[in-house]
Structure 1
Amino acid sequence: MKSKAIIVAIIALSVISCLDNIGKKPEADTAAAQTEEQKEFKYWTWITADPKRDDASYTEEFKKYKSYGLDAVLINTNADPELLGRLAPLAKAEGMEVHAWIMAMNRPGDSIVSQHPEWYVVSRERKSAYDHRPYVGYYEFLCPTREASRNHVLGLVEALSKVDDVASVHLDYIRFPDIFLPIGLLPKYDLVQDEELPEFDFCYCDVCVSEFEKMHHKNPRDMENPAIDMEWKQFRLNRIRDVVNEAYDIVHENGKILTAAVFPYPEMADHMVRQRWDKWDVDVVLPMIYHNFYNEDTDWVGFATKQGVQDLEATQTELHTGLYVPEMSGEELTEAIEQARQNGAKGVSFFDGPALTEEQLLAIKASK
């Protein structure tokens, strides 16, 4: 009887203990959840690789980034999978996640592309970017509608996605040339852009015009004001989307994810560069919320981040805010990081790694 009474008492104490904890989250679990939340806010940076540099110098660079709290490095190897395969394990050994950064529709210096003038986008003035490049000499944009040019880009994506120790293929310049430059850059080019100018309006090549005519029974070359024709605009948005979606399938088949550098938020990207990234199959976007390019204050980072996050609500795509660091103090960088965090970003990226000052690196580390 005595032992039975002891058992009853133990059961009663257990029930009281369980009731006492209903609705409460154990402190240890709360701390773990907070740690996980902090861990998930990822810090990225971009670098451009030089094949002439030795491994030791790269190891030192990756070690430095990691020591200041950076988690991931986007490496531009000019789409060279061999160089990427050399650098990826070095970064991984220092605890860095590696992403293969590729200039997609803009392919400056690509020896294969230069042999195919027909691959280049054509302006409303009927001038090809092969020999009439908009804004700068390295704007060698390819037509996303032509099968050959599209397949060339996708072939590069596939090769990079097969490299070991790489988390994603990262699409940059996945768009048309700028219809409108960021307002802060216009003085540099002595331009006024208060409408869509024909020299910056692409792609009026024979293939695009022919495909559009088949679908909509009208020719954009004959339009008095093509800027207001929504089908023509949507046609070009969809051609970029198609390249992205094909790239998505390719990289996923090879066990990687797809990430992309994009303009600040979808409506703005649509307006400026024919890029509607909330309609894409893509795992992570890094919108380039470079507030100083647009003559905006740091709080614009929060606005543009929130706009992009809201536009992605119906998708599985993550948004990590891109920051342009050269003109920022440590204090401004701290504020920009917090603006991104508070407005729903899953992380922040810094352009670019070699430009990060000691003051900025310390601000990054402290913010983590």
Structure 2
Amino acid sequence: MIKKLNFIFLVLIIILVYSLNSAAYFKPEVYRSSLLKIRAAERSLNNLDKKMNRAKSDFKIFYQSEIDDELKKIDAYYQQLQQAYKNNNDFEVDRISKIIIRFSNQLLLKTTESKPVQLRGFWLDSGTFAKTGGRSGVQKLLNQAQKANFNVIFPETFYKGMSVIADNELFFQDPRFKNWKEDPLKVLIEEAAARNMEVHPWVWVFNENTAGKPGRILENNPDWANKNKEGEVVSYHNSTWLSPAREDVREFLQKRYAYLVKNYNIDGINLDYIRFPEEYRGSFGYDQISVEKFKEKTGLDPFTIKSGSAEFSIWNQYREDLITQMVKETTKQLRLIDPNLKISADVIPGREEARYRALQNWSLWLKNDYLDFVLPMTYTENLFSELRSWIKEDRSQIKKPLYAGVSVFKLSSEQLIAQIEEINQINPNGVSLFAAAHLTEGDYQRLAQGVFSVPALLPDKNKRESLAKMQDFILKRLNIIKEAEAIETDDLIKIRTFLNQICSKATKADFNFLDYVEKNNLNLSEKVTGVLEKDFNYLKDIINLY
């Protein structure tokens, strides 16, 4: 048995040896099980070495000097680690290897580039909000968010017929907030303002409950229910929904949103569930009012329409228009109260997919200026294909801001950082994380050390300052490329002049970096061209979208 264990251990050592390919590789004279601790530390150092080399080759803007200083400390620990092994001090081997791994992982984050101008938001779910318990708890939460350089909060404010604010003629307060000494929303707004963060209350629209049965609104108004063809009110996602065809439903909701805008110093309103249930071509919409209005308008009976027919397309368009009508009406009313209010919606990712799955034509809402921006719910563990197909395709067609929603609840801390890095490559204008309930103290710290390490300006505020930040960002990139001897001096001067011309105009930009490279016969490598093209496209978005 002992011989078998020794054999297995030797096999593990051989595998580890061949998995290491950097200078960090200790060769002992005697092999003991504690050598596995050294190999784990070496792997972390190798990962750091690879990430740094990749960042350098991509001309990333990161804290090179800080990392170099920390590497000297790690190297000293590595020497101590080897000596501890030689001295047969396995306790020290274990302790020092953990230190090296921790430091290496921290430095990995510092090789990540942080964008200077973007929305960095998170949805503050009502459960997490309630658990803060009052002002001191809110301060503690927002201190974490401030250190991680977030700049927008979407607090869940009206949901399931309840609200975070005190009872009044329009609102029923969520019992979890009953013991607060102050108005929860007012406290959040005040503390957020003190930290230069915007607050956009997150409000539910047509989804009424998620417990597989009617909630407060439908209990009091059963006729308001959205139904499927069989007359059922519970959707396949276990939710109950309100009928968008009913004027009284729309007025009920809009009065509550208007109250928030009139009575609180908020920066925006974030509309959620402004769609049909996610049932593909809207299997809902068969409530009495919807059917009667459709019959009156078209002479058709939706109960007799066959799926896939020309009449079915008319039925789909009718229901889609009901949702659009709600967006249009709501925006018009809220902007009369506050013309500067930012109105957004959480939407199904993929313009056409949203229409197909939930009759949600959000690209039309942006085109018609019913919304200022959307947050596609790109909730996936798939780092590349889904994110790219959703965001890149939509971004190429949409001329207004969109900020990807990231599902923290599906991801490890490492995956979270990786997704934000990927989104920054595709659409660096902003991102929002769902939700605060799933953000750990470690997540806030990792964001602060890496992808959110540099404070970011909101793109639509302080436009001149944002432009200056972008200009400085690209100049830093050019300096890195120059230090790497990857650009000729004449070409560098031309690109700097081009950049200055763009930023000095500060008007709608209609430039193409690749065209400029070609017309001016710049001698740039494919890598340098690709990196700078992304930067200039990012700059173009900041100018044109805001």
TM-score (norm: length of structure 1): 0.76
In structure 1, the residue matched to 2:117 is 40
Equivalent residue in structure 2 for 1:93, among 170, 185, 194: 194
Taking the aligned partners of 1:100 and 1:301, their CA distance within structure 2 comes to 26
- Give SS of 2:284's match: coil
Equivalent residue in structure 1 for 2:266, among 152, 166, 177: 166
Work out which structure has the larger RCO, using CA pairs closer than 8 Å and 6 or more positions apart in sequence. 1
Query: How many Å apart are 1:225 and its aligned residue?
Result: 2.2
In structure 2, the residue matched to 1:211 is 293
For 1:233-252, what aligned pairs fall within 5 Å after superposition? 233-252=316-335
For 1:282-297, what aligned pairs fall within 5 Å after superposition? 282-292=371-381, 296-297=382-383
Give the letter for the 1:254 counterpart: I
Structure 1: gaps of 5 or more residues: 1-36, 181-195
Query: Cα distance 1:208–1:80, how it changes in 2: closer, same or farther (>3 A)?
Result: same
Query: How many Å apart are 1:158 and its aligned residue?
Result: 0.8
Query: How many Å apart are 1:357 and its aligned residue?
Result: 2.6
Equivalent residue in structure 2 for 1:273, among 358, 362, 370: 358
Query: How many Å apart are 1:112 and its aligned residue?
Result: 4.3
- Give SS of 1:143's match: coil
Identify, as 1 or 2, the structure richer in helix: 2
Deviations 1:313-345 (A, max 9, x none): 3xxx31011000123233322221122222235
Report the number of matched residues: 303
Taking the aligned partners of 2:219 and 2:137, their CA distance within structure 1 comes to 33
CA contact (8 A) 2:391 2:426 kept: yes
Taking the aligned partners of 2:414 and 2:217, their CA distance within structure 1 comes to 45
Taking the aligned partners of 2:217 and 2:291, their CA distance within structure 1 comes to 25
> CA RMSD for the aligned pairs?
2.3
- Give SS of 1:221's match: coil
Taking the aligned partners of 2:149 and 2:157, their CA distance within structure 1 comes to 24
Deviations 1:162-198 (A, max 9, x none): 2433111110111111114xxxxxxxxxxxxxxx6xx
State which drifts further: 54-63 or 245-254: 245-254
Taking the aligned partners of 2:188 and 2:308, their CA distance within structure 1 comes to 46
Taking the aligned partners of 2:437 and 2:274, their CA distance within structure 1 comes to 24
- Give SS of 2:393's match: helix
Taking the aligned partners of 1:291 and 1:227, their CA distance within structure 2 comes to 33
Query: How many Å apart are 1:359 and its aligned residue?
Result: 4.1
Query: How many Å apart are 1:227 and its aligned residue?
Result: 7.3
Taking the aligned partners of 2:256 and 2:297, their CA distance within structure 1 comes to 30
- Give SS of 1:75's match: strand
Query: Cα distance 1:327–1:80, how it changes in 2: closer, same or farther (>3 A)?
Result: closer
Q: Does 1:111 align with 2:216?
A: yes
Deviations 1:118-167 (A, max 9, x none): 1110101122x2xxx12355x22101111111111111111122243311
Deviations 1:248-300 (A, max 9, x none): 112222221211111112111111111110111111111100123xxx34442
CA contact (8 A) 1:50 1:77 kept: no
CA contact (8 A) 1:72 1:99 kept: yes
Taking the aligned partners of 1:357 and 1:299, their CA distance within structure 2 comes to 27
Taking the aligned partners of 2:404 and 2:390, their CA distance within structure 1 comes to 9
Give the letter for the 1:350 counterpart: L
Equivalent residue in structure 2 for 1:50, among 99, 109, 130: 130
Give the letter for the 1:367 counterpart: V
Give the letter for the 2:150 counterpart: L
Q: Does 1:145 align with 2:245?
A: yes
Query: How many Å apart are 1:226 and its aligned residue?
Result: 6.2
Taking the aligned partners of 2:123 and 2:416, their CA distance within structure 1 comes to 16
Equivalent residue in structure 2 for 1:222, among 304, 311, 314: 304
Taking the aligned partners of 1:299 and 1:333, their CA distance within structure 2 comes to 16
Taking the aligned partners of 2:284 and 2:436, their CA distance within structure 1 comes to 32
Identical amino acids, percent of aligned pairs = 24
Taking the aligned partners of 2:309 and 2:262, their CA distance within structure 1 comes to 40
- Give SS of 1:178's match: coil
Structure 2: gaps of 5 or more residues: 1-113, 167-183, 453-546
State which drifts further: 73-82 or 139-148: 73-82
Query: How many Å apart are 1:212 and its aligned residue?
Result: 1.4
Taking the aligned partners of 2:249 and 2:131, their CA distance within structure 1 comes to 26
Query: How many Å apart are 1:209 and its aligned residue?
Result: 1.4
In structure 1, the residue matched to 2:140 is 60
CA contact (8 A) 2:254 2:330 kept: yes
In structure 1, the residue matched to 2:45 is none
Query: How many Å apart are 1:309 and its aligned residue?
Result: 1.6
